[in-house]
């Protein structure tokens, strides 16, 4: 243990001596956390709409006013020309075109069905789906009001309707920041820790100091452990500070046990940092490390479930995700923070990562070539 302690002491001295590394460790991840939580969102807050009103009736104006009263839609203009409306979509000046036919009010007042055409810019399939869903909801609400008015006008009766009450568990206000912040925090902590750990041994090789270490009686497991623990401590500290920042700035709920979450985070970071050290033992320069880490991290992040649910991925992708540590922690951090899940709920992920950490760390120790 004394030997490992000396290596840890050396690493901390080297880290704090490097003036360029401190801003990367301390400032950069938290600036990114604040910015990305606001930027990485699927909420549609400004949908540009163009209306082709061929009816010019009271009812059509009521429908248009319904959209104008919605916080999601911005009326960019009215036109009588379909060509002009299509040109606005092609030039990205409009996200959706609503076409109201010239017999819209007449058919509704006579009890017939009238059709409304919605033309949605679907270059971004996710945005198009949300735009269509918001529009359909506004039209359905308008249609409900029209039906109620017509029934009472023809035959005044007291109508009864079914009231539906919605209860959103774990995120009652549907605040997207609460969903995104834990995932972004996992990514930032992992990237900083894994990259620094991966570059560490390679830097020793390029500087030539690795040869001085190799001629000492330090065992391979002592060397790898001493290289891993300083960055594990830094990553855990960043994780704690990130949670504090999320609570103070975004009021993220912390429903579950923080001790359980930090215990799981500790095992997870052993996997991430051991993977970085394993790559570092195989690479001969920092450029190789950067490319290999970029490949693994980009793949793992996109398949982790931060943007799209893992359950909606193809079967083969879900099976590949067994080796994706991001996917385990992405699921667990949201379960513990937002749902208050206990150890029994995350035991599979915990034991899986514990085995994963043991395997990757052993491979890193085995792969490190120490020559006397």
CATH number at residue 74: 3.40.1710.10
Q: Is residue 170 part of a domain?
A: no
Are residue 181 and residue 326 in the same domain, yes or no? yes
What local confidence, expressed as pLDDT, does residue 372 receive?
A: 45
Whole-model pTM over 0.75:
yes
Do the Cβ atoms of 101 and 74 come closer than 8 Å?
no
Q: Is residue 88 part of a domain?
A: yes
Q: What is the pLDDT of residues 257-301, one digit of tens each?
A: 999 999 999 999 999 999 989 998 888 888 888 888 888 888 898
Structure tokens at 336: 């513990």
Q: Is residue 301 part of a domain?
A: yes
Structure tokens at 108: 């509704």
Are residue 232 and residue 347 in the same domain, yes or no? yes
Are residue 110 and residue 139 in the same domain, yes or no? yes
Q: Is residue 189 part of a domain?
A: yes
What local confidence, expressed as pLDDT, does residue 123 receive?
A: 84
Q: Is residue 166 part of a domain?
A: no
Are residue 95 and residue 25 in the same domain, yes or no? no
Structure tokens at 23: 């801003």
How would you classify the pairing of strands 96-100 and 73-78?
A: unpaired
Q: Is residue 346 part of a domain?
A: yes
**Domain total for the chain?**
2
Q: Is residue 164 part of a domain?
A: no
Report the C-alpha gap between 243 and 247 in whole angstroms. 6
Domain that holds residue 194: 2-40+175-367
pLDDT band of 150, cuts 50, 70, 90: low
Are residue 105 and residue 187 in the same domain, yes or no? no
Are residue 104 and residue 218 in the same domain, yes or no? no
Are residue 294 and residue 337 in the same domain, yes or no? yes
What local confidence, expressed as pLDDT, does residue 154 receive?
A: 47
Are residue 190 and residue 287 in the same domain, yes or no? yes
Are residue 98 and residue 239 in the same domain, yes or no? no
Mean pLDDT of 135-164: 67
Q: Is residue 325 part of a domain?
A: yes
Lowest-confidence segment of 69-83, 156-170, 171-185, 326-340 by average pLDDT: 156-170
Are residue 254 and residue 192 in the same domain, yes or no? yes
What local confidence, expressed as pLDDT, does residue 42 receive?
A: 67
Are residue 358 and residue 247 in the same domain, yes or no? yes
Of 122, 154, 186, the residue that ends a domain is 154
Report the C-alpha gap between 132 and 292 in whole angstroms. 41
Sequence-ordered strand ranges (E) for the chain:
47-53, 73-78, 96-100, 117-120
């Amino acid at each position: 243990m004394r030997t490992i302690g000396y290596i840890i002491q050396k690493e901390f001295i080297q880290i704090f001596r490097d003036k360029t590394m401190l801003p990367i460790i301390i400032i950069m991840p938290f600036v990114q956390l604040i910015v990305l939580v606001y930027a990485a969102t699927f909420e549609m807050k400004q949908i540009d709409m163009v209306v082709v009103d061929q009816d010019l009736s009271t009812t059509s104006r009521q429908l248009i006013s319904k959209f104008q009263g919605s916080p999601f839609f911005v009326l960019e203009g009215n036109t009588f020309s379909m060509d002009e409306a299509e040109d606005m979509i092609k030039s990205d000046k409009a996200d959706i075109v609503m076409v109201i036919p010239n017999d819209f009010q007449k058919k509704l007042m006579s009890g017939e069905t009238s059709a409304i055409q919605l033309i949605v810019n679907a270059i971004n399939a996710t945005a198009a789906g949300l735009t269509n869903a918001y529009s359909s909801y506004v039209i359905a609400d308008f249609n409900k009001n029209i039906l109620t008015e017509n029934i009472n006008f023809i035959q005044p009766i007291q109508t009864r309707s079914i009231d539906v009450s919605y209860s959103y568990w774990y995120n009652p206000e549907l605040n997207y920041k609460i969903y995104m912040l834990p995932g972004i925090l996992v990514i930032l902590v992992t990237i900083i820790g894994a990259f620094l750990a991966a570059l560490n041994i390679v830097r020793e090789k390029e500087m030539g100091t690795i040869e001085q270490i190799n001629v000492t009686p330090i065992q391979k497991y002592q060397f790898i452990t001493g290289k891993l623990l300083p960055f594990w401590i830094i990553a855990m500290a960043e994780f704690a500070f990130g949670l504090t920042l999320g609570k103070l700035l975004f009021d993220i709920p912390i429903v579950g046990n923080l001790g359980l979450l930090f215990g799981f985070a500790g095992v997870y970071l052993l996997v991430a940092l051991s993977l970085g050290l394993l790559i570092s033992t195989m690479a001969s320069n920092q450029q190789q490390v950067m490319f290999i880490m970029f490949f693994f991290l980009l793949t793992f992040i996109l398949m982790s479930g931060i943007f799209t649910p893992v359950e909606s991925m193809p079967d083969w992708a879900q099976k590949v995700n067994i080796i994706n540590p991001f996917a385990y922690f992405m699921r667990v951090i949201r379960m513990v923070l937002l749902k208050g899940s206990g150890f029994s709920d995350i035991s599979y992920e915990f034991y899986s990562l514990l085995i994963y950490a043991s395997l990757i760390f052993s491979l890193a120790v085995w792969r490190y070539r120490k020559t006397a």
